[in-house]
Amino acid sequence: MDATFATGKELQKMDPVFGQLSFDDHEQIVFCNDKDTGLKAIIGIHNSVMGPALGGTRMWNYNTEWEALNDVLRLSRGMTYKSAITGLNIGGGKAVIIGDAKTQKTPELMRKFGEFVHSLGGRYITAEDVGMETKDMDTVRDVTPYVTGISEERGGSGNPSPITAYGVYLGMKAAAKSQFGTDVLDGKKVLVQGIGHVGEALVEYLTKEGAIVTITDINEEKLFQVASKYNATVYTGEDLYTADVDIYAPCAMGAIINDDTVNKIKAKVIAGAANNQLADENVHGARLQERGILYAPDFLINAGGIINVYAELANYGKAEIMTKTENIYNTTLEIIDYAVKNGMTTHKAALTIAQNRIDLRKIENAAKK
Protein backbone atom coordinates (compact mmCIF):
# COMPACT_ATOMS: atom_id res chain seq x y z
CA MET A 1 0.00 0.00 0.00
CA ASP A 2 1.30 3.44 -0.89
CA ALA A 3 1.49 5.44 2.35
CA THR A 4 0.79 8.66 0.47
CA PHE A 5 -2.80 7.61 -0.18
CA ALA A 6 -3.46 5.83 3.10
CA THR A 7 -6.22 7.09 5.36
CA GLY A 8 -5.79 7.33 9.14
CA LYS A 9 -7.60 4.04 9.62
CA GLU A 10 -5.44 2.26 7.06
CA LEU A 11 -2.26 3.65 8.57
CA GLN A 12 -3.31 2.16 11.88
CA LYS A 13 -3.40 -1.21 10.19
CA MET A 14 0.04 -0.99 8.57
CA ASP A 15 1.61 -2.49 11.68
CA PRO A 16 -1.12 -5.02 12.34
CA VAL A 17 0.77 -7.04 14.96
CA PHE A 18 3.81 -5.26 16.41
CA GLY A 19 2.01 -1.92 16.13
CA GLN A 20 -1.11 -3.04 17.99
CA LEU A 21 -1.71 -1.27 21.30
CA SER A 22 -2.15 -4.67 22.95
CA PHE A 23 1.19 -5.93 21.64
CA ASP A 24 3.47 -6.25 24.66
CA ASP A 25 6.68 -8.01 23.59
CA HIS A 26 4.81 -11.16 22.62
CA GLU A 27 7.18 -13.91 21.49
CA GLN A 28 5.07 -15.50 18.78
CA ILE A 29 1.71 -15.00 17.03
CA VAL A 30 0.47 -17.85 14.84
CA PHE A 31 -2.34 -17.44 12.30
CA CYS A 32 -4.09 -20.71 11.47
CA ASN A 33 -6.35 -21.21 8.47
CA ASP A 34 -8.01 -24.30 7.00
CA LYS A 35 -10.40 -23.99 4.10
CA ASP A 36 -11.95 -27.49 4.44
CA THR A 37 -13.09 -27.12 8.07
CA GLY A 38 -13.55 -23.33 8.03
CA LEU A 39 -10.99 -22.92 10.82
CA LYS A 40 -9.68 -19.42 11.35
CA ALA A 41 -7.66 -19.19 14.54
CA ILE A 42 -4.90 -17.13 16.16
CA ILE A 43 -2.51 -18.53 18.77
CA GLY A 44 -0.62 -16.03 20.90
CA ILE A 45 2.48 -16.92 22.91
CA HIS A 46 3.28 -13.99 25.16
CA ASN A 47 6.09 -15.25 27.37
CA SER A 48 7.78 -18.59 27.95
CA VAL A 49 10.39 -17.63 30.58
CA MET A 50 8.63 -19.58 33.34
CA GLY A 51 7.88 -22.55 31.07
CA PRO A 52 5.77 -23.51 28.04
CA ALA A 53 2.90 -21.13 27.33
CA LEU A 54 -0.37 -22.49 28.73
CA GLY A 55 -3.76 -20.92 28.10
CA GLY A 56 -7.26 -21.74 26.93
CA THR A 57 -8.87 -21.59 23.52
CA ARG A 58 -11.80 -19.22 23.12
CA MET A 59 -14.31 -19.52 20.26
CA TRP A 60 -16.14 -16.28 19.67
CA ASN A 61 -17.94 -14.64 16.77
CA TYR A 62 -15.74 -11.54 16.61
CA ASN A 63 -16.99 -8.62 14.53
CA THR A 64 -13.58 -8.20 12.91
CA GLU A 65 -10.26 -10.02 12.75
CA TRP A 66 -8.76 -6.98 14.52
CA GLU A 67 -10.94 -7.69 17.54
CA ALA A 68 -9.82 -11.33 17.53
CA LEU A 69 -6.15 -10.36 17.34
CA ASN A 70 -6.56 -7.76 20.07
CA ASP A 71 -8.28 -10.34 22.28
CA VAL A 72 -5.58 -12.99 21.85
CA LEU A 73 -2.84 -10.43 22.55
CA ARG A 74 -4.51 -9.21 25.74
CA LEU A 75 -5.53 -12.66 26.95
CA SER A 76 -2.13 -14.30 26.39
CA ARG A 77 -0.40 -11.48 28.27
CA GLY A 78 -2.87 -11.94 31.11
CA MET A 79 -1.98 -15.65 31.26
CA THR A 80 1.71 -14.85 31.75
CA TYR A 81 0.97 -12.79 34.84
CA LYS A 82 -1.74 -15.16 36.08
CA SER A 83 0.70 -18.08 36.13
CA ALA A 84 3.53 -16.01 37.63
CA ILE A 85 1.44 -14.52 40.46
CA THR A 86 0.12 -18.00 41.29
CA GLY A 87 3.65 -19.45 41.43
CA LEU A 88 3.23 -21.90 38.54
CA ASN A 89 6.13 -22.90 36.29
CA ILE A 90 4.41 -22.07 33.03
CA GLY A 91 4.34 -19.16 30.63
CA GLY A 92 1.42 -17.32 29.08
CA GLY A 93 -0.44 -18.16 25.90
CA LYS A 94 -3.96 -18.13 24.50
CA ALA A 95 -5.83 -19.03 21.34
CA VAL A 96 -8.95 -17.68 19.70
CA ILE A 97 -11.06 -19.37 17.04
CA ILE A 98 -13.19 -16.97 15.00
CA GLY A 99 -16.76 -18.25 14.68
CA ASP A 100 -19.98 -19.14 16.45
CA ALA A 101 -19.35 -22.06 18.81
CA LYS A 102 -23.03 -23.07 18.70
CA THR A 103 -23.26 -23.40 14.92
CA GLN A 104 -19.73 -23.58 13.48
CA LYS A 105 -17.79 -25.80 15.89
CA THR A 106 -17.28 -29.34 14.57
CA PRO A 107 -15.03 -32.24 15.65
CA GLU A 108 -13.17 -31.82 12.32
CA LEU A 109 -12.51 -28.14 13.05
CA MET A 110 -11.26 -28.96 16.57
CA ARG A 111 -9.00 -31.72 15.25
CA LYS A 112 -7.50 -29.37 12.68
CA PHE A 113 -6.94 -26.79 15.41
CA GLY A 114 -5.21 -29.51 17.45
CA GLU A 115 -2.86 -30.17 14.52
CA PHE A 116 -1.84 -26.50 14.49
CA VAL A 117 -1.20 -26.66 18.26
CA HIS A 118 0.88 -29.80 17.72
CA SER A 119 2.97 -28.09 15.03
CA LEU A 120 4.34 -25.76 17.73
CA GLY A 121 6.06 -28.70 19.41
CA GLY A 122 4.90 -27.97 22.94
CA ARG A 123 5.70 -24.25 23.05
CA TYR A 124 1.94 -23.73 23.51
CA ILE A 125 -0.37 -26.00 25.52
CA THR A 126 -4.08 -25.38 25.09
CA ALA A 127 -7.09 -25.74 27.41
CA GLU A 128 -10.78 -24.86 27.66
CA ASP A 129 -12.14 -21.31 27.54
CA VAL A 130 -15.31 -19.51 26.39
CA GLY A 131 -17.17 -21.51 23.72
CA MET A 132 -15.28 -24.71 24.56
CA GLU A 133 -16.20 -27.84 26.51
CA THR A 134 -14.24 -30.72 27.98
CA LYS A 135 -15.25 -32.96 25.05
CA ASP A 136 -13.62 -30.46 22.65
CA MET A 137 -10.34 -30.81 24.55
CA ASP A 138 -10.70 -34.60 24.24
CA THR A 139 -11.00 -34.16 20.47
CA VAL A 140 -7.84 -32.02 20.42
CA ARG A 141 -6.12 -34.71 22.53
CA ASP A 142 -6.74 -37.20 19.70
CA VAL A 143 -4.12 -35.37 17.62
CA THR A 144 -1.76 -33.77 20.17
CA PRO A 145 -0.57 -34.29 23.74
CA TYR A 146 -0.26 -30.50 24.15
CA VAL A 147 -3.68 -29.99 25.73
CA THR A 148 -4.97 -29.90 29.31
CA GLY A 149 -8.46 -29.92 30.81
CA ILE A 150 -9.33 -33.23 29.17
CA SER A 151 -11.96 -35.47 30.73
CA GLU A 152 -11.23 -37.36 33.92
CA GLU A 153 -11.92 -40.64 32.07
CA ARG A 154 -8.91 -39.87 29.88
CA GLY A 155 -6.69 -39.02 32.84
CA GLY A 156 -7.36 -35.28 32.85
CA SER A 157 -8.49 -32.85 35.52
CA GLY A 158 -11.90 -32.32 33.93
CA ASN A 159 -13.90 -29.11 33.78
CA PRO A 160 -11.88 -26.31 35.44
CA SER A 161 -14.89 -24.00 35.94
CA PRO A 162 -15.84 -25.03 39.53
CA ILE A 163 -12.24 -24.46 40.66
CA THR A 164 -12.08 -21.10 38.87
CA ALA A 165 -15.31 -20.07 40.63
CA TYR A 166 -13.94 -21.22 44.00
CA GLY A 167 -10.84 -19.02 43.54
CA VAL A 168 -12.98 -16.01 42.57
CA TYR A 169 -15.18 -16.61 45.61
CA LEU A 170 -12.14 -16.67 47.92
CA GLY A 171 -10.62 -13.59 46.26
CA MET A 172 -13.96 -11.83 46.73
CA LYS A 173 -14.01 -12.79 50.42
CA ALA A 174 -10.46 -11.42 50.87
CA ALA A 175 -11.41 -8.14 49.15
CA ALA A 176 -14.55 -7.93 51.34
CA LYS A 177 -12.42 -8.41 54.46
CA SER A 178 -10.18 -5.52 53.42
CA GLN A 179 -13.05 -3.23 52.38
CA PHE A 180 -15.77 -4.07 54.91
CA GLY A 181 -13.71 -5.42 57.82
CA THR A 182 -15.15 -8.93 57.51
CA ASP A 183 -15.03 -11.67 54.89
CA VAL A 184 -18.53 -12.85 55.75
CA LEU A 185 -20.71 -12.47 52.64
CA ASP A 186 -23.97 -13.41 54.37
CA GLY A 187 -26.36 -10.50 53.70
CA LYS A 188 -24.03 -8.77 51.23
CA LYS A 189 -25.61 -7.71 47.94
CA VAL A 190 -23.68 -9.20 45.02
CA LEU A 191 -24.30 -8.66 41.30
CA VAL A 192 -22.97 -11.45 39.08
CA GLN A 193 -22.72 -10.46 35.42
CA GLY A 194 -22.48 -13.53 33.19
CA ILE A 195 -23.66 -16.94 34.36
CA GLY A 196 -21.75 -19.34 32.16
CA HIS A 197 -19.90 -22.32 33.66
CA VAL A 198 -17.91 -20.16 36.12
CA GLY A 199 -20.60 -17.57 36.85
CA GLU A 200 -23.16 -20.20 37.79
CA ALA A 201 -20.71 -22.02 40.09
CA LEU A 202 -19.93 -18.65 41.75
CA VAL A 203 -23.66 -18.01 42.27
CA GLU A 204 -23.86 -21.38 44.03
CA TYR A 205 -21.01 -20.52 46.44
CA LEU A 206 -22.50 -17.09 47.17
CA THR A 207 -26.09 -18.22 47.78
CA LYS A 208 -24.87 -21.05 50.01
CA GLU A 209 -23.20 -18.46 52.23
CA GLY A 210 -26.34 -16.33 52.35
CA ALA A 211 -25.36 -13.51 50.00
CA ILE A 212 -28.21 -11.63 48.30
CA VAL A 213 -27.42 -12.42 44.67
CA THR A 214 -28.64 -10.61 41.56
CA ILE A 215 -27.72 -12.03 38.16
CA THR A 216 -27.61 -10.80 34.58
CA ASP A 217 -26.73 -12.51 31.27
CA ILE A 218 -27.46 -12.17 27.56
CA ASN A 219 -28.89 -15.72 27.58
CA GLU A 220 -32.37 -15.18 29.05
CA GLU A 221 -33.29 -18.84 29.17
CA LYS A 222 -30.19 -19.67 31.24
CA LEU A 223 -30.79 -16.57 33.38
CA PHE A 224 -34.21 -17.67 34.64
CA GLN A 225 -33.07 -21.27 35.00
CA VAL A 226 -30.16 -20.24 37.29
CA ALA A 227 -32.35 -17.73 39.15
CA SER A 228 -34.88 -20.38 40.15
CA LYS A 229 -32.20 -23.01 40.89
CA TYR A 230 -30.32 -20.83 43.41
CA ASN A 231 -33.07 -18.43 44.44
CA ALA A 232 -31.27 -15.47 42.88
CA THR A 233 -32.89 -12.31 41.52
CA VAL A 234 -32.73 -11.40 37.82
CA TYR A 235 -31.53 -7.82 37.31
CA THR A 236 -34.27 -5.78 35.62
CA GLY A 237 -32.87 -2.24 35.88
CA GLU A 238 -31.87 0.00 32.99
CA ASP A 239 -28.13 0.07 33.67
CA LEU A 240 -26.48 -2.72 35.66
CA TYR A 241 -23.42 -0.57 36.45
CA THR A 242 -25.59 1.71 38.58
CA ALA A 243 -27.02 -1.23 40.56
CA ASP A 244 -27.18 -0.64 44.31
CA VAL A 245 -24.93 -3.53 45.40
CA ASP A 246 -21.95 -4.08 47.69
CA ILE A 247 -19.97 -6.27 45.29
CA TYR A 248 -19.91 -6.41 41.50
CA ALA A 249 -18.66 -9.66 39.93
CA PRO A 250 -18.00 -9.42 36.17
CA CYS A 251 -17.93 -13.00 34.83
CA ALA A 252 -18.50 -12.48 31.10
CA MET A 253 -16.32 -10.67 28.57
CA GLY A 254 -13.53 -8.20 29.35
CA ALA A 255 -13.08 -4.41 29.15
CA ILE A 256 -16.35 -3.77 31.01
CA ILE A 257 -14.71 -1.19 33.28
CA ASN A 258 -14.22 1.58 30.76
CA ASP A 259 -14.83 5.31 30.21
CA ASP A 260 -18.59 4.73 30.01
CA THR A 261 -18.92 2.65 33.18
CA VAL A 262 -16.11 3.50 35.61
CA ASN A 263 -17.88 6.52 37.13
CA LYS A 264 -21.29 4.83 37.43
CA ILE A 265 -20.33 1.81 39.53
CA LYS A 266 -21.87 1.92 43.02
CA ALA A 267 -20.35 -1.32 44.31
CA LYS A 268 -17.48 -0.94 46.79
CA VAL A 269 -15.74 -4.14 45.68
CA ILE A 270 -15.18 -5.49 42.16
CA ALA A 271 -14.24 -9.17 42.11
CA GLY A 272 -15.12 -11.36 39.15
CA ALA A 273 -13.96 -14.12 36.84
CA ALA A 274 -13.77 -12.17 33.55
CA ASN A 275 -10.33 -11.59 32.07
CA ASN A 276 -9.01 -8.08 31.31
CA GLN A 277 -11.83 -6.29 33.13
CA LEU A 278 -10.08 -2.90 32.95
CA ALA A 279 -10.29 -1.47 29.42
CA ASP A 280 -7.22 0.65 30.25
CA GLU A 281 -5.27 -0.74 33.20
CA ASN A 282 -3.66 2.55 34.17
CA VAL A 283 -6.59 4.92 33.63
CA HIS A 284 -9.47 2.82 34.93
CA GLY A 285 -7.55 1.13 37.75
CA ALA A 286 -6.56 4.55 39.08
CA ARG A 287 -10.10 5.90 38.73
CA LEU A 288 -11.56 3.01 40.75
CA GLN A 289 -9.00 3.69 43.46
CA GLU A 290 -9.88 7.40 43.50
CA ARG A 291 -13.54 6.47 43.94
CA GLY A 292 -12.73 4.21 46.89
CA ILE A 293 -13.68 1.03 45.02
CA LEU A 294 -11.49 -1.98 45.78
CA TYR A 295 -10.61 -3.95 42.66
CA ALA A 296 -9.47 -7.56 43.12
CA PRO A 297 -7.10 -8.14 40.16
CA ASP A 298 -8.85 -10.48 37.73
CA PHE A 299 -5.78 -12.48 36.71
CA LEU A 300 -5.09 -13.26 40.36
CA ILE A 301 -8.50 -14.32 41.61
CA ASN A 302 -9.55 -16.22 38.47
CA ALA A 303 -6.40 -18.38 38.47
CA GLY A 304 -8.20 -21.46 39.86
CA GLY A 305 -8.79 -22.77 36.35
CA ILE A 306 -5.12 -22.63 35.38
CA ILE A 307 -4.16 -24.25 38.70
CA ASN A 308 -6.59 -27.05 37.88
CA VAL A 309 -5.26 -27.76 34.39
CA TYR A 310 -1.61 -27.24 35.43
CA ALA A 311 -2.11 -30.22 37.76
CA GLU A 312 -2.11 -32.44 34.66
CA LEU A 313 1.37 -31.19 33.74
CA ALA A 314 2.78 -31.23 37.27
CA ASN A 315 1.10 -34.53 38.21
CA TYR A 316 -0.54 -33.44 41.42
CA GLY A 317 -3.98 -34.40 42.68
CA LYS A 318 -7.21 -32.77 43.82
CA ALA A 319 -5.91 -31.98 47.35
CA GLU A 320 -2.97 -29.96 45.96
CA ILE A 321 -5.31 -28.19 43.50
CA MET A 322 -7.53 -27.07 46.38
CA THR A 323 -4.55 -25.98 48.53
CA LYS A 324 -3.12 -23.85 45.71
CA THR A 325 -6.55 -22.38 44.93
CA GLU A 326 -7.23 -21.58 48.60
CA ASN A 327 -3.98 -19.62 48.64
CA ILE A 328 -5.67 -17.05 46.34
CA TYR A 329 -7.31 -15.67 49.51
CA ASN A 330 -3.94 -14.91 51.16
CA THR A 331 -2.35 -13.64 47.95
CA THR A 332 -5.24 -11.22 47.43
CA LEU A 333 -4.74 -9.78 50.93
CA GLU A 334 -0.97 -9.52 50.28
CA ILE A 335 -1.55 -7.67 46.99
CA ILE A 336 -3.96 -5.21 48.64
CA ASP A 337 -1.40 -4.59 51.40
CA TYR A 338 1.46 -4.15 48.87
CA ALA A 339 -0.65 -1.65 46.89
CA VAL A 340 -1.34 0.45 49.99
CA LYS A 341 2.30 0.42 51.14
CA ASN A 342 3.64 1.34 47.70
CA GLY A 343 0.97 3.88 46.75
CA MET A 344 -0.25 2.04 43.66
CA THR A 345 -3.39 0.37 42.38
CA THR A 346 -4.07 -3.27 43.25
CA HIS A 347 -3.75 -4.17 39.56
CA LYS A 348 -0.32 -2.53 39.34
CA ALA A 349 0.74 -4.25 42.58
CA ALA A 350 -0.19 -7.69 41.23
CA LEU A 351 1.57 -7.00 37.91
CA THR A 352 4.70 -5.79 39.72
CA ILE A 353 4.99 -8.89 41.90
CA ALA A 354 4.35 -11.19 38.92
CA GLN A 355 6.92 -9.34 36.76
CA ASN A 356 9.51 -9.56 39.56
CA ARG A 357 9.10 -13.35 39.56
CA ILE A 358 9.52 -13.52 35.77
CA ASP A 359 12.63 -11.29 35.86
CA LEU A 360 14.17 -13.43 38.60
CA ARG A 361 13.51 -16.63 36.59
CA LYS A 362 15.04 -15.02 33.51
CA ILE A 363 18.27 -14.41 35.44
CA GLU A 364 18.21 -18.00 36.77
CA ASN A 365 17.63 -19.38 33.25
CA ALA A 366 20.52 -17.31 31.85
CA ALA A 367 22.87 -18.57 34.60
CA LYS A 368 22.13 -22.19 33.61
CA LYS A 369 23.18 -21.67 29.99
Q: Which residues are catalytic?
A: 94
Partners of 92 in beta bridges? 47, 54
User: Could you give the CA distance from residue 367 to residue 369 in angstroms, rounded to a whole number?
Assistant: 6
The answer to whether 273 and 302 are in contact (CB under 8 A) is yes
Strands 189-193 and 28-34: unpaired
